């Protein structure tokens, strides 16, 4: 194996210093500093996880460039090692992966519970090895997220499925193409689309996924698979067609920029009335955010050299936002924009249509002087003149980012605890924000 313990830091399961979920680190933020300078967006976390899982389908080596160094990606690479994949870090941070042993097909509970996206190894294992055993992930802090559509899609391709002791057992001698509908009560499923699309690449015949997720991360996954020899068309639309092939070969792939990280930095510039340039971002992936921000009074422009420039007016206007599947407003930027709208001159309304329970950050923002009122899947935000520093607790990845943003502008000192949540999706965010003027540092609790 490639020695992930040396290449990527301590293993989560064999080194007490990692202490997953129990780290005592927190962020100490002294608010009121205007952000100014240039910050670079990393490769997409949400694209990287299914890309790594897709390598299970391939023969030979794959090289992923700009894959972010996060606890989630490191957990996925550790899971791949457990599944017989050699993983190593090459020159300039490139991640090299190659399947060496196809014996183990079990994604164990101790790994899946720490990172829900581990379930996206299910489709590749089933298609390539004929079987998969994956622990059910359960719920999470942003609400219940069932995987029934994943199983429905794989069953349509010919999988036999059993549930025993909290593990899903899937097997199939050979998958066959089928028409699969992946629409759910809150829209299409991103990881479900990824799972079925990956499995269909090695199925006999043609698979058509209706109500497929249109997210850029699905497009990036399909682009990688096509470079490996797959025959996928329609990605980026609600109807994806996959013609099965006999074999996929590894290839080199550049991971797309993280649109959620880019959006978070854009909002960070806006909330501090900053003047920030953002490198390696794609505005075409953020049109719903930019549309809302322009109403608020935030100017986001791309210069001739491709760098995004963010500036904002001193008076922020209220706005109404409803989260929707892509290309609608992303649920992963709901908490961050809520922090910004706490300072708008008037009442804003945010309605969460993807994860209606994703509002744990509301109580923490109220501790900082915000005036937020939750009514079912909607939060009414009464703008205030300023926020006040306070000790707050992160509850999930994006909520923790919102608390950091609020701390950047709050009067006094904010302590954000349980920052292992933010480490899942933002690489050294405190160092990167400090480099453009924030007074933020990581300290022991």
Write out the catalytic residue numbers: 140
CA–centroid distance for 203 within its chain: 28
Measured CA angle at 15 (ends 12, 21), to 5 deg: 45
CB 57 within 8 A of CB 228: yes
Q: Identify whether the C-beta of residue 57 lies closer than 8 Å to the C-beta of residue 83.
A: no
Tallying the residues shown for the chain, one arrives at 445
The answer to whether 295 and 341 are in contact (CB under 8 A) is no
Residue 160 tokens, joined: 């036999």
The Cα 243–Cα 158 span in angstroms is 16
Residue given tokens 């799972």 in the structure block: 195
Provide the 10 A C-beta neighbour count for residue 358. Answer: 23
CA-to-CA separations, 161 to 126, 170, 173, 208, in angstroms, rounded: 11, 5, 13, 21
Is the omega angle on the peptide bond into residue 327 within 30 degrees of 0, that is, cis? yes
Using CA atoms, how far apart are residues 432 and 152, in angstroms rounded to an integer? Answer: 42
Residue 443 CB contacts under 8 Å (≥ 6 apart), including other chains: 25, 26, 27, 28
- Give, for 430, the enclosing helix (H) or strand (E): helix 429-434
Question: Distance between CA 254 and CA 217 in Å, rounded?
Answer: 12
Of 31, 28, 83, 22, give the one whose Cα is nearest residue 56: 83
- Looking up tokens 């581990």 gives 118
Q: At what angle do helices 71-82 and 45-54 cross, to 10 degrees?
A: 10
């Amino acid at each position: 194996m490639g020695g992930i313990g040396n290449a990527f830091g301590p293993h989560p399961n064999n080194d007490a210093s990692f202490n997953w979920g129990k780290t005592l680190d927190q962020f100490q933020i002294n608010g009121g500093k205007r952000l100014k300078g240039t910050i670079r967006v990393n490769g997409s976390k949400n694209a990287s996880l299914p890309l790594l899982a897709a390598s299970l389908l391939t023969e030979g080596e794959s090289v992923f460039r700009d894959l972010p160094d996060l606890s989630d990606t490191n957990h996925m690479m550790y899971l791949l090692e457990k599944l017989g994949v050699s993983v190593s870090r090459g020159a300039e941070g490139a991640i090299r992966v190659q399947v060496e042993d196809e014996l183990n097909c079990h994604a164990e509970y101790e790994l899946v519970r720490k990172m829900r996206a581990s379930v996206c190894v299910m489709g590749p294992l089933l298609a390539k090895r004929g079987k998969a055993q994956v622990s059910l992930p359960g719920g999470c802090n942003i609400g219940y997220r069932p995987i029934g559509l994943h199983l429905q899609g794989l069953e349509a391709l010919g999988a036999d499925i059993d549930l025993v002791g909290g593990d899903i057992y899937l097997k199939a001698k050979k998958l066959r193409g089928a028409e699969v509908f992946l629409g759910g009560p809150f829209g299409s499923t991103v990881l479900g689309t990824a799972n079925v699309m990956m499995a269909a690449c090695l199925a006999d015949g043609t698979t058509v996924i209706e109500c497929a997720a249109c997210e850029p991360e699905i497009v990036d996954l399909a682009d990688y698979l096509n470079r490996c020899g797959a025959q996928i068309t329609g990605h980026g639309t609600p109807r994806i067609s996959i013609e099965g092939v006999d074999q996929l070969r590894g290839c080199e792939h550049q991971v797309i920029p993280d649109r959620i990280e880019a959006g978070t930095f854009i909002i960070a510039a806006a909330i501090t009335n900053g003047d920030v340039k953002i490198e390696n971002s794609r505005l075409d992936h953020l049109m719903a955010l930019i549309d809302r921000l322009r109403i608020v009074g935030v100017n986001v422009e791309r210069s001739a050299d491709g760098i995004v420039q963010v500036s904002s007016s001193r008076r922020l206007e209220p706005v109404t936002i409803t989260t929707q599947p892509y290309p609608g407003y992303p649920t992963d930027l709901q908490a961050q924009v809520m922090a910004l709208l706490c300072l708008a001159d008037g009442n804003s309304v945010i309605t969460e249509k993807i994860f209606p329970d994703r509002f744990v950050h509301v109580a923490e923002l109220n501790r900082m002087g915000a005036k937020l009122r939750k009514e079912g899947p909607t939060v009414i935000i009464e703008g205030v003149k300023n926020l006040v520093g306070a000790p707050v607790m992160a509850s999930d990845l994006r909520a923790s980012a919102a608390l950091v943003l609020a701390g950047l502008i709050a009067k006094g000192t904010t302590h954000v605890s349980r920052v292992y949540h933010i480490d899942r999706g933002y690489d050294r965010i405190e160092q990167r924000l400090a480099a453009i003027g924030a007074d933020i540092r990581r300290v022991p609790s």
